[in-house]
Structure 1
Amino acid sequence: MAVSGISVFGRPSETQAAESHSLDDLGFPRDYVTLDLETTGLYPSRSAITEIGAVRVRGGRIVDQFQELVNPRRPIPRQITTLTGISNAMVADRDSIDQVLPRFISWLADASSAELTEPIVGHNVSFDLRFLDYNARHVVGSGFPCTDYDTMQISRVLFPAHQHHRLADLIVRFGIAENEEHRALSDAIQTQQCFEWMHQYTAQHRDLAHVDWRAVPAKSSTPIIHQQLMLR
C-alpha cells in the first residue's frame, strides 16, 4: 500500500532516502507524528490494542490529531481498567483493530507527499511499534516500517543523573503536567511536549557536548530504524 511513493506508514519507498524528512541543525525532526497506544497487556501475540492516539506535528506544532477506542475482542484486565480508565463497556460497541488500523494508516498517509516522510515519536516507542507491526501483519498483510525517535532514550542521554525516565517523571520534571492520564491521545500530546522541551533544552545547552544521532535497526524483520541521540 503506497501513496505518492510513500508507504502508508510514513516511510519512503525504496527509491527514496530515509533521511528525506525535515531535520534541523541538531538533527531533530520538525515534522513528525507522536503516537501512543493503550493495550490489554505487554505482548502483542497475547494482548490487544484498546486505544490509538496520535498527533501530527509541523514545524514543532500540533496541526492534527487521531484518537479511537478499539474493541480488543477479549476482556480487559481489571488492573488495566484501573490504570487507564478504559472499561469493557467503553469498547463493547467500538470497531475492532481490523477496522481501526486501516483508518489510522490512512490518517498517517493523508499528509504524505513524495518529498516528505514522517518519523514516529513516542515514549518507549518500541513497545507501541511492536503492537502496530504485529497487527499490521495480520490486518493488511505487511509490517509497520518507520523511523522513530524515543523520548525515553533521549531523556536518558540528556539527564543521566536522573534515575527514572517514565513519561510520568518527564512531565513533572519539565513542568508540563502533574499527572499522566494513561490515555492514548493525552499521552501522545504530553510526549510531543516532552520531545519539544528536550529539543529546546539541547538547543540552549550546546556547550554540553556535540549532538549526534545513530541509526539502529530494530531486531524485527520489519525495517524499523531507531534514531538514537548521542552526545560526544
Structure 2
Amino acid sequence: MTVPGITVFGQQSHPDWTAGTPIAEDVTGFPTDYVALDLETTGFYPNRCAITEIGAVRVRGGRVVDQFQQLINPLCPIPRQITALTGITDAMVADHDPIDGVLPQFISWLADSNAAAETEPIVGHNVSFDLRFLDYNTRHIAGCGFACADYDTMQISRALFPKQSHHRLADLIVRFGIADNEEHRALSDAIQTQQCFEWMRHYVSEHHESSTIRWKQAPAKNSTEILHQQLVVQR
C-alpha cells in the first residue's frame, strides 16, 4: 500500500510529495512493520486534559523488537476515577517530566523505527483517541501536526465480526484468548493491542480470500495529516 501526501511521526507533509510512502504489508494488506501505541490520560479532551503515560511497542515482521514506556507529569491533579481505573497516582508522576519533555523523546524513538524505506504506521485500539492527544500536543510543542497512517483494532474487529455487540480491548483479549483482564496501563495495553492485531491478521489470512477484503483511506476529522486505514469486508 502507498499512503499519498503524508509523512509520519510529527513531520510536516511536503507540498510537492505526490508519490506517497509505501507500507510493508502482507498479501491481505495488513502491515507487518508498525508501532502499537496506547496512552493514559486525565480525561477525554486534549485541550482540557493531559497525557499521564505513553506506551508503545515496535513491531517488525509481526514480532515485537523494541518498546517505549514513560510516565508523564500532567501538571494537574489526576482525577480519582482515573486513578481508580489506571492505578496512576499524583505521587507516581510527581518526579517525572511533563509532556513537553517526554514528547520529543517519543518522537525521536518513533523516528528510529522509520529508518527503513517503508513507513511504519501506528496501530491502536480506538486509536483516534490517542492520536487526537498526540496531535494536539505536537502542534503546541513542535509547531506541526502529528502525521501518520493508522490502523484501529476496534474498527477491524467491527468489520470482521459485525454480529458481536462489543469491541472494547477488554472484549477482544478475552474473545481471542489473549488475557482475562485489561490493565489500563499504556505499555501493557499497547502489547495487548499488538496481540489482538496479529490475531486478526492471521484470522484474515486463514478465513478470507484477498479478493474479499480491501482497505480504504480516510483522513482524520481534525487533521488531514492523519490517515485512517479502514478494513472493508465483502460478504
Q: Which residue of 2 aligns with 1:197?
A: 199
Aligned amino acid, residue 141 of structure 1: G
Match of residue 107, structure 1, among 109, 113, 118:
109
Instruction: Report Cα offsets for 1:111-170 as digits up to 9, x if no partner.
Output: 323612110000000000000000001111111011000000000011111100000000
Which sections of structure 2, spanning at least 5 residues, go unmatched?
1-6
Which residue is 1:48 aligned to? Answer: 50
Equivalent residues of 1:11, 1:147 under 8 A apart: no
Structure-2 separation of matches of 1:214 and 1:86 = 37
1:62, 1:147 → 2: CA distance?
A: 19
Pairs within 5 Å for 1:69-108: 69-108=71-110
What is the letter of the counterpart of residue 42 of structure 1? Answer: F
- Report Cα offsets for 1:153-208 as digits up to 9, x if no partner: 00001111110000000000000000000000000000000000000011110259
**Paired residue type of 1:146:** C
- Mapped to 2, the partners of 1:121 and 1:7 lie a distance apart of 13
Q: Which residue of 2 aligns with 1:154?
A: 156
Partner of residue 4, structure 2: none
1:151-190 equivalence runs, <5 A: 151-190=153-192
Query: Within 1, Cα distance between the matches of 2:210 and 2:32?
Result: 22
Question: Tell me, what secondary structure is at the counterpart of 2:22?
Answer: coil
Distance change in 2, residues 1:88/1:213 (3 Å): same
The alignment status of 1:32 with 2:49, answered yes or no, reads no
Distance in 2 (CA, whole Å) between partners of 1:15 and 1:207 is: 33
* Cα gap change, 1:155 to 1:10, in 2 (>3 Å): farther
CA distance in 2 between partners of 1:150 and 1:180 (Å): 17
Stretches of structure 1 lacking an aligned partner (at least 5 in a row): 1-5
Cα distance, 1:227–1:126 mapped onto 2, change above 3 Å: same
Which of 130, 133, 145 does residue 131 from structure 1 map onto?
Answer: 133
Q: Tell me if structure 1 keeps the 8 A contact 2:68–2:187.
A: yes
Structure 2 vs 1, CA of residues 209 and 231 (structure 1 numbering), >3 Å: closer, same or farther? farther
- Following the alignment from structure 1 to structure 2, what is the Cα–Cα distance between the partners of residues 11 and 118? 16
Q: Quick check: 8-17 or 166-175, which moved more?
A: 8-17
Identity among equivalent positions (%) equals: 68
SS across alignment from 1:223: strand
